[in-house]
Amino acid sequence: MNLVWLAFGWTGGFRARNVERRCRRVCVASSRVSELQVGGSAVSEDGIEERGVFPGQLLVEKELGGGGVERTYDIRLAKKFLEDYWQKRPVLFRNALRSFSSPLSPDELAGLACEQDIDSRLIIHWEGLESQHERAKKGSHPSWELRVGPFVESDFQDLPEKCYTLLVQEVNGHIQEVSDLLDHFRFLPNWRLDDVMVSYATEGGGVGPHVDSFDVFLLQAQGRRSWKTSYTPILPEDENLISDCDVRVLKNGFSVSEEWILEPGDMLYVPPRIPHWGVSLDDSCMTFSIGLRAPEKRELVRSFTDYLVENKVSSRKDFVRDNSDDLCEYTVGRDGDDGEGATSDPGILTKEAVREAQRSIREILDLDDNEFARWYARYVTLPKRDALGVGDELNTVVSKSEATGIVAEIASGAGVSLRHREAAVFSYLSSESAGTDGDVLYINGESFPLSPESDGTAKLVCSRKVLQGAALQEQLLEDPGFDKLLVQLICMGLLYCVYDDDS
């Protein structure tokens, strides 16, 4: 497929569509969240999953006060998945999202890849091409070639007909309907959800045999793709990659344990460090990769150290103190009979000097559990990438008076709901974990302390992408400070208004 005409026939439309959507988000309708039609699920007579049913597929309806309805996952299926497969072994879910259809086409994905503020890549597998004419284009390129966006028209003109893939990161931060997908993964913590990467591939296209350091659900949106996986993880120290190659491809592949062909609606779960390899079987292959990234220990320590330096060390002039007795005994030396230093040893680093430095470090590290929990909550809710999102625009669009009016409409039951900013991370600490009087809400690294009267508020705000008007109205009656919180979050662009009929 030639992406040239679509990328540049559609990019301007994408920009116009984005601007129009952001402006009307202040108080207009958004697209309807997709509802799942299940049917044909592998569930036994007692209702317990037999195998291979995605927990987010069987959404259970729960009535809310005020006539609202909330859809949530089946707890039994979620427990079954977490106990049997999560971070243990791959599993394929047939018809995981049975009625799902891609909310964007390959043409539109190419348009996104031309935007300045969106991360995108093209990967070409030159050795996979059968045509000598196409292989001749390879020139001095390695067998796997990486091209990094944003792209322009000339970048698409010399692509081969086959064996390439276009990948666009964090599409959930830009396309509302893609963000809605994450509601089907609420059996996992909000702060673990990284992004939704969308890829388009021609026949033979893929990124090669590789491993990831995070959990991933690979949803086939259109076309067909074959997947090979292993059951044996590859540790970082054993990861033998092709040298002089910008694409992280395993040099010798891996021992294949399972091979599947995914049709639209199928989804493959792959745990961290499990090698896998997907290859497109046609020219219409689109895959949505829902990544769940746990904090890397090295980055965790680095960030925590920065926090300690900024908050626990009283001054840049603060320093490790010397022990004068230690200096006198070892460096100056003990007095001899004639009063001279008979055992002077200025080169020695004494045990006491080491202990003093160690005591200083331990003093800085001496955080109580509550303080560490508050730091960690900020850390894991920080935006994982510099996504465009809608908050920057809404910061200057929604005034306090407008936000107050929106909350008043919700309180009156006018059919208004609120929606999370795309790609924003919502989480909270209980008052017990935070060591505070009330729960503490965390959004994108910002903390919002709540009062003891705000019981259930943080849980509600973090529960799903679209916060239904009926549930918000009920909580406004229960929590006297809830209205002020909503006004603040709307003004910051972390929540925006939608009508219930379209949420």
Work out the average pLDDT over 261-290.
97
Local confidence band at 327 (pLDDT 50, 70, 90 cut-offs)? low
Q: Tell me the per-residue pLDDT of 141-189, one tens digit each, with 9 for 90 and over.
A: 578 999 999 998 889 888 999 999 999 999 999 999 999 999 899 899 9
Question: In the prediction, which pLDDT does 396 show?
Answer: 44
* Lowest pLDDT segment from 29-38, 179-188, 345-354: 29-38
Rounded Cα–Cα distance for residues 319 and 313 (Å): 9
Domain spans in the chain, listed from the N-terminal domain onward: 4-21+84-292, 297-379, 391-502
Rounded Cα–Cα distance for residues 402 and 408 (Å): 10
Question: In the prediction, which pLDDT does 136 show?
Answer: 56
Q: For domain 391-502, give its CATH number from 3.40.1390.10, 3.40.50.1170, 3.40.366.30, 3.20.20.80.
A: 3.40.366.30
First to last CA, the chain: 35
Local confidence band at 39 (pLDDT 50, 70, 90 cut-offs)? very low
According to DSSP, residue 181 is labeled G
Q: Which carries the bigger pLDDT value, residue 294 or residue 198?
A: 198
Work out the average pLDDT over 316-336.
66
* Lowest pLDDT segment from 11-15, 114-118, 177-181, 265-269: 11-15
Q: For domain 4-21+84-292, give its CATH number from 2.60.120.650, 3.10.20.600, 3.40.50.10420, 2.80.10.50.
A: 2.60.120.650
Beta strands, E only, 151-262: 164-168, 193-201, 215-222, 225-229, 258-262
Peptide bond into 90 cis (omega under 30): no
Q: Are 457 and 463 in contact (CB under 8 A)?
A: no
Q: 3-state SS of the chain: helix, strand, coil percent to 5?
A: 35, 20, 45
Rounded Cα–Cα distance for residues 118 and 247 (Å): 19
CB half-sphere exposure, 288, CA atoms < 13 A: 30
Rounded Cα–Cα distance for residues 272 and 231 (Å): 11
Q: What is the dihedral of CA 418, 422, 425, 428, to 10 degrees?
A: 0
Quick check: 254 pLDDT over 90?
yes
Which residues are 426's β-sheet partners?
Answer: 443
Question: In the prediction, which pLDDT does 434 show?
Answer: 97
Task: Please count the other Cβ atoms lying within 10 Å of the Cβ belonging to residue 61.
Answer: 8
Structure token pair of residue 72: 């949530």
Beta-strand pair 164-168/120-125: antiparallel
Which letter, b or e, does each residue of 359-398 get, where b requires 16 or more Cβ atoms within 10 Å of its Cβ? Answer: eeeeeeeebeeeeebbbbbbbbbeebeebbbbbebbeebb
Work out the average pLDDT over 50-62.
67
Angle at 46 between CA 43 and CA 51, to 5 degrees: 30
Rounded Cα–Cα distance for residues 397 and 394 (Å): 5
Question: In the prediction, which pLDDT does 499 show?
Answer: 82
